[in-house]
């Protein structure tokens, strides 16, 4: 049996540390629990983040990598890929498409989860320019770059064969058509987010009620009974 069939793989791509935990942390916990091998790709180190001006800026990438690594561990993920692009200045370049293609060809996932390249007019915070750029570059890497054996010949020279991703799940965008009931993983999602100490993620104890409101609203919109908590995605067939 091929390895992909025995252990399905999913690659989650995000612009910043903590984006995955906010957008799809409960889904990651669910995938790990159901036998998926989950890998992360963080496009930036989140070096423009934080709130404490006394922390030297050059320390922030190290701090945020450590926080994201711990948050991933909480959800059962140990395979993290870091691209090191500058936080707050991300653009869809051929270099970024190449680097994402490299990760896709390395991980060889059946599914990719990424941020939406479409701005959400109802909630501006989900549409950080880095999120939009990371989403667009990831979709470009899925199609056509990673599957085209003649794109980025330097990747073939590294021994990385072309790979076709079967589907992409987009988080934070319009018109979701995959909604997962994930209440059993809400505590794990909150624990992962609390690992991002440098971001004051749980300042004044607001994290739990905020997540319950967000995920509860998502569940209600999908017709689930009251008291359920969900995460939603737009599925794209990319075979």
What predicted TM-score, i.e. pTM, was given to this entire model? 0.95
Which stretches of the chain score pLDDT less than 50?
A: 1-5
- Give tens-digit pLDDT for 73-100: 999 999 999 999 999 999 999 999 999 9
- The residues spanned by each domain of the chain are 3-237
Domain 3-237 annotated CATH 3.40.50.10320: yes
For all residues of the chain together, what is the average pLDDT? Answer: 94
Provide φ and ψ at 232, rounded to 5°: -130, 150
pLDDT of residue 219: 98
Cβ atoms < 10 Å from Cβ of 1: 6
pLDDT of residue 1: 30
């Amino acid at each position: 049996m091929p390895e992909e069939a025995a252990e399905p793989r999913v690659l989650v791509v995000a612009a910043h540390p903590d984006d995955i935990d906010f957008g799809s942390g409960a889904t990651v916990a669910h995938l790990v629990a159901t036998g998926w091998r989950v890998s992360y790709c963080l496009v930036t180190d989140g070096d423009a983040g934080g709130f404490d001006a006394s922390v030297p800026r050059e320390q922030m990438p190290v701090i945020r990598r450590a926080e994201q690594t711990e948050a991933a561990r909480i959800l059962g993920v140990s395979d993290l890929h870091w691209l090191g692009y500058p936080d707050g200045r991300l653009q869809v370049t051929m270099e970024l498409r190449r680097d994402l293609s490299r990760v896709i060809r390395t991980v060889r996932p059946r599914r990719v989860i990424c941020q939406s390249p479409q701005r959400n007019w109802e909630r501006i915070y989900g549409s950080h320019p880095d999120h939009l750029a990371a989403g667009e570059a990831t979709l470009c890497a899925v199609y056509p770059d990673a599957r085209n054996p003649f794109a980025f010949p330097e990747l073939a020279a590294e021994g990385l064969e072309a790979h076709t991703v079967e589907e992409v799940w987009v988080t934070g965008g319009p018109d979701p058509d995959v909604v997962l009931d994930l209440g059993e993983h809400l505590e794990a999602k909150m624990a992962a987010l609390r690992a991002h100490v440098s971001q004051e993620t749980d300042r004044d104890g607001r994290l739990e009620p905020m997540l319950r409101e967000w995920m509860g609203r998502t569940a209600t919109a999908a017709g689930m009974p009251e008291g359920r908590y969900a995460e939603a995605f737009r599925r794209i067939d990319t075979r």
